[in-house]
Amino acid sequence: MEYKNKHVLAPMVRVGTLPFRLLAAQYGADITYGEEIIDHKMIKCDRHINEYLGTTDFVERGTENVVFRTCPEERNRVVFQMGTSNAVRALTAAQLVSKDVAAIDINMGCPKSFSISGGMGAALLSKPELIHDIITTLKRNLDNTITCKIRLLKSSEDTVELARRIEKAGVSALAVHGRRVPDRPRDPAKWDEIADVVAALSIPVIANGDVFEYEDFERIKGATCVMVARGALWNASIFSPSKSSWEDVKREYVRQCILWDNDVKSTKHTLKEMIAHYSSLELAEGKAVIKSANTENVARIYGEEDYYLQVSMNRS
């Protein structure tokens, strides 16, 4: 993995599945993160080659639940992001996917209670010794690029101090979300504090926060790479200098979901997020998506019935 002037799709829970990652890459994303997956869940999975789809699936034992799905097409740009609070468990989970992904990233910034209560995510920000243990364990035992993603601490000085310790542990790059743990999405990202981290480190820094237009990639000065979350969720063509209409992007997303047999609950979740931003779930489109029981229903809403039938026939 190279980190120089790259546009990066951020990890987003229930959104960053294979169809959305490939959609972002289609529009120009250089590096694509999967949704955060907890190590406890990953170590309960077995690796399966899905010849039906041409994918590699990590399936929870005793179920048909696909926890992580990838394909050779994204092998050199996909990042497996993991939630963990234990170095040995992190390594066990990472070893399962190590041959199928370009990099392993440790989530050290999630502020949600489920993550913090388990000692994961933002809880790690106050545990530099554990951070060091996790990173060095992965570095010693894997050939993959190892990175992590943090949030800002109480002061810029504290953030820089932690970032330096993380750099010393051996990560290849550090993503910094320009908000503190108590901040809400409506609070402006503090790009100046990300710049302080950039100035203090010699490794690449990936800036994250408040990227909503293609021009924003250039506005965040100094960072080696720029990462986008909500801006990509609302319109994945943000990675292209010539932005497509959200109607076209939605239809292309539906086609990707059909092609890669995405779980319909995941597909509906992402579509609802798009609709809620631009329109309303109370209107006809939103209600139809909510009522959809399967991917065929979703295809019909967006005029992709023929494509759905074509893909289904090719697989039968």
Euclidean distance between CA atoms 239 and 151, whole angstroms:
23
pLDDT, the chain, mean? 96
pLDDT value, residue 273: 97
pLDDT value, residue 115: 87
Q: Which CATH number applies to 6-239: 3.20.20.70, 3.40.50.261, 3.40.50.720, 1.20.140.10? A: 3.20.20.70
Q: In the beta sheet, which residues pair with residue 161?
A: none
Per the CB < 8 A criterion, the answer to whether 108 and 146 are in contact is no
Residues of the chain predicted below pLDDT 70: 221
pLDDT value, residue 223: 81
pTM exceeds 0.85 = yes
pLDDT value, residue 221: 65
Euclidean distance between CA atoms 73 and 78, whole angstroms:
9
pLDDT value, residue 64: 93
Q: Which two tokens stand for residue 226?
A: 């720029």
Euclidean distance between CA atoms 298 and 265, whole angstroms:
11
* Residues taking part in catalysis: 110
For CATH 3.20.20.70, the residue range(s) in the chain are 6-239
